[in-house]
Amino acid sequence: MIRSSFGFAASVAIVVVSVAGAAALATAPSVSFVRLGATSTPPALETKPTVKHLPTPEPMYAIYMTQCAVGTPSLRNTLVEFIDSTKLNAVVIDIKDYAGKIAYPTENPILSGSVSEKCGADDMKEFVETLHDKGIYVVGRVTVFQDPFYTKHHPEQSVLSKGRPGEPWKDFKGLSFVAVNSMTFWDYIVELSKESYALGFDELNYDYVRWPSDGPMSDIAYPSTDRAGELEKFFAYLHERVAPIGVKMSVDLFGYTTVLTDDLGIGQQIERAFPYFDYVAPMVYPSHYNKGFAGLSNPNSDPYAVVHVSMVEAVRRAKATETPVATMNAMPIMRTEIVPATVTSATTTREVATGMYSKSAYSPLKLRPWLQDFDYGKDYLPADILAQTKATYDAGLTSWFFWDPANRYTSLRQVLQTE
C-alpha cells in the first residue's frame, strides 16, 4: 500500500482472512501497490539542539500536511485551526516529498541542492515554533527511497533498469528509486534527519522505505537478492545514528505487512521494523485491500473489518516472542528429536530447527495505523471514519494518523467537530 494522489492500481489476487480469526497468511497476494560514505562506527554524539521539543502525546491523533500546503499560509492556517478546534494534537508535515525535494531552506552543503523551488516553507522553523506554542506535536515525514531528484544526479546509486543499462528504473508514473543498499544515500537521510530535528521537528516519520513496485518489474536489475535483509540493515544503521540525538522515529509500512510474513517483494516485514523504531505505522487503507480479504468480496465496503483484522494481527505479532521471520539478529528455535536405535547405535537425540525464531515482545502502543479520509473506490463518509477509529480502539490501540493527499479531511472534520 502506497501513498497516492488517487492513482492506486487494484490488480490483486484473492486473499481470504476470517474476521474472527485474523490469521497471518502463508503466501502473499500478487498486489500492485499504488503510495559521505557510510562507516561501521557511529560518529560521536553531537550537542543536542536548544530548540523546543514536545513530548509525544498519548494518545496521538494526527493529520497529514503536504509540502505545498505548509508553504501556503491560507491552507496551513486552515489545517492548524482544524487541529486547534478538535481533539487532534499532532500534524505530519512533508520534509522530503515524493519528488525528493526538501521543504525548508538549509545551508547544509549536503542538503542545500535538494531544496524545493516550488513548495515548502521558508519560515518552517518559525512555523514549527508556532505549532509548539499551541501544544501541537510536529512530525516530519521523509519519503526515503523513492527519490527521482537524487537518482537523476546519482544514477549509479539507483535501482537500475535491465533494458537501459546504467539508467534508473522507472515505475508507471516515471518515478525512480534509490537502491535500498546504497550506503552513501543512508548518510544523506541521516543528515536530513539530524537537520530536521535541530530545526524543531519532534518526530521523524520514514515513508517509502522499500524496494520499488508498480512498474515494469521484470526490467529491474536488483543489486541484491536479499531485499528484506538489505532493508533491515538500513533500519539498523538509521537507528544507530539518529536515535541518540533524542528524536522519536516512526516508520510507515504497507498494510499487508500486518497479516503476511513474506516481504511482499519489496523488503518489508513488520518484525524487522519493531526493534529500530519507536512507532510502526501500517497503512491500513481499506481501499487498498484485495477482494477476499477478511472474507469480503469488496473490502472497501467494510472499513471496520479491514482495519480490525489488520491491527489485531499486528498487535499479536508485536507481543509475540516467536516468529517465522528470520530477522537479522534472530535466534532459531530448536526442538529435540529422538533418533531411534539401530543395529550399530543406541537411541540418541538431536536438535532440529522448528522454522521459528525468537523475538522480543513489544508494547502494542508501538503501533499507530494510518487511516483513510480520501475517496477511492467509493466516497469515504463520516461513518467510514468512525468505523476505522473504532476498529483501531477495539484492537487495543489508542493512536492514529489520517491521510488525505488533498488535505481537505471533509469527513474527519464532520466527525471531530461534532464530538
Taking each helix axis as running N to C, give the angle between helix 124-133 and helix 73-84, from 0 to 180 degrees, rounded to the nearest 10.
Answer: 20
Distance CA 87, CA 412 (A): 11
- 52 belongs to a structural domain: no
Q: Do residues 141 and 274 share a domain?
A: yes
For CA atoms 300, 305, 308, 313, the dihedral sign is negative
- 30 belongs to a structural domain: no
Residue 153, classified by CB atoms within 10 Å of its CB into exposed (0-12), middle (13-18) or buried (19+), is exposed
Residue 109: give the domain boundaries. 61-321+360-416
Q: Which residue bears the cell 484492537?
A: 395
Q: Do residues 336 and 235 share a domain?
A: no
Q: Do residues 270 and 378 share a domain?
A: yes
Q: Is 206 helix (H, G, I), strand (E, B) or coil?
A: strand
- 46 belongs to a structural domain: no
Q: Do residues 243 and 317 share a domain?
A: yes
Model pLDDT, residue 16? 34
69-117 pLDDT tens trace: 999 999 999 999 999 999 999 999 999 999 999 999 999 999 999 999 9
Residue 381 grid coordinates = 463518509
User: Which alpha helices (DSSP H) does 320-409 contain, by range?
Assistant: 382-394
Distance CA 135, CA 343 (A): 78
280-306 pLDDT tens trace: 999 999 999 999 999 999 999 999 999
Q: Do residues 343 and 365 share a domain?
A: no
Model pLDDT, residue 34? 42
Q: Do residues 260 and 355 share a domain?
A: no
- 6 belongs to a structural domain: no
Distance CA 296, CA 279 (A): 29
What is the CATH classification number for the domain harbouring 72? 3.20.20.80
| Below-50 pLDDT ranges, the chain | 1-40, 48
What distance separates the 2 farthest-apart alpha carbons in the chain? 87
Q: Do residues 347 and 250 share a domain?
A: no
For CA atoms 315, 316, 322, 327, the dihedral sign is negative
- 376 belongs to a structural domain: yes
**Of 67, 280, 95, which is closest to residue 189 (Cα–Cα)?**
95
- 103 belongs to a structural domain: yes
Q: Do residues 209 and 306 share a domain?
A: yes
* Element (DSSP H or E) covering residue 83: helix 73-84
- 41 belongs to a structural domain: no
Distance CA 228, CA 272 (A): 8
Model pLDDT, residue 322? 98
- 26 belongs to a structural domain: no
Model pLDDT, residue 43? 55
170-203 pLDDT tens trace: 999 999 999 999 999 999 999 999 999 999 999 9
Is the CB of residue 280 less than 8 Å from the CB of residue 315? Answer: no
Distance CA 163, CA 216 (A): 10
**Of 405, 401, 406, which is closest to residue 83 (Cα–Cα)?**
401
Model pLDDT, residue 21? 39
Model pLDDT, residue 50? 78
Which residues touch 165 (CB under 8 Å, ≥6 apart)? none
Model pLDDT, residue 37? 41
Q: Do residues 391 and 334 share a domain?
A: no
Number of structural domains the chain divides into: 2
Q: What is the DSSP letter of 49?
A: P
Last residue of a domain, one of 310, 337, 359: 359
Model pLDDT, residue 26? 35
For CA atoms 222, 278, 128, 61, the dihedral sign is positive
Q: Do residues 305 and 340 share a domain?
A: no
**Of 323, 398, 389, 394, which is closest to residue 367 (Cα–Cα)?**
398
Q: Do residues 353 and 365 share a domain?
A: no
Q: Which residue bears the cell 532493508?
A: 231
- The DSSP code sequence of 105-161 is ----TTTGGGB-SSSS-TTHHHHHHHHHHTT-EEEEEEE-SB-HHHHHH-GGGBPEE
Q: Do residues 286 and 395 share a domain?
A: yes
Model pLDDT, residue 42? 55
* Element (DSSP H or E) covering residue 238: helix 227-242
Answering whether pTM is above 0.85, one says yes
